[in-house]
Amino acid sequence: MTSGISISPHREPLAARNVLSTLAAAERLRTHARAGKGGQPLRGKNLALLLGPSPGVDISTLRRAAQDLGARVAEVRFTEPVQPAAGPNAVHSVARMLGRMYDAVDCEALAPATVRRIEQDAGVPVYQGLCLDDHPARALGDLLTLCEHRSPPGASILFLGDPKAPRGSQFVSAARAAGFDVLDGGAGEAVSNDATFLVDARHSAHWALLASAHPLDEARRAENHRCVMQAVLLDTIAKA
């Protein structure tokens, strides 16, 4: 996949041609895992989770996603250079070291400019917070959950919140590429909901996914997010 998703932070992982292949790959992984036939296609591969001094991010889902595929996962602490003059050389050295030791690097909560420099110099796939809420993998995981409940055509989504925010834009773009009819519910005041699904994105910390006014299963939602991350890892690491 790219991002069938090829996810470099600077490629567009939600182009229409990539959304469907990414969802299909994640669905295959989910089916195999449920049947106990997952295998370990990334056995012998090494993933570095590059963390700031105070990451404040739960990386357990990404760690499990990679380990279930057979990859070895290492947490690497990284402090961004304070002095501008020393910054580029210091980041260059770290990136080269990471590229020699690991097959891919995930950068959690680092400045975008630092991630770009690491990507340029590491020579291996680099992800910008693959398990974070604002990463496209989260939007695709939520979309896969809706598809599991009812696939398009004929399915519609009422979206409450800001469709122009990064995560909202990613989700709406992917949903339309997958064939859903997406309705803009704005802030949600006095909205009539005849849609198949309601996605309440008004609280950025946790979106609510509902069908017929009932929340969708959170365990399946987490499983689908994990499968999308695995699809990304397989696509980029296996093809690197």
Q: How many residues does the chain have?
A: 240
Whether pLDDT at 25 is above 80: yes
Contact assessment for residue 40 and residue 67, using Cβ atoms and an 8 Å cutoff: no
**Distance separating alpha carbons of residues 168 and 174, to the nearest angstrom:** 10
For 98-114, b/e burial (b = at least 16 CB within 10 A) is bbeebbbbbbbebeeeb
Beta partners for residue 51, in sequence order:
77, 108
Q: 53-85 pLDDT, tens per residue?
A: 766 678 899 999 999 999 999 999 888 766 555
153 upstream amide cis, omega within 30 of 0: yes
**Backbone phi and psi for residue 73, each to the nearest 5 degrees, phi listed first:** -120, 130
State the pLDDT confidence band at 4, using cuts at 50, 70 and 90.
very low
One-letter amino acid at 119 equals E
The separation between CA 68 and the C-alpha centre of its own chain, rounded to angstroms, equals 17
**Distance separating alpha carbons of residues 76 and 112, to the nearest angstrom:** 18
Mean per-residue pLDDT of the chain: 85
Both ends of the chain: CA-CA distance in Å? Answer: 12
Dmax over CA atoms of the chain, in Å, equals 58
* Coarse DSSP helix, strand, coil percentages of the chain, rounded to the nearest 5 percent: 40, 15, 40
Contact assessment for residue 48 and residue 66, using Cβ atoms and an 8 Å cutoff: no
Q: 165-200 pLDDT, tens per residue?
A: 989 999 999 999 999 999 998 877 656 678 999 999
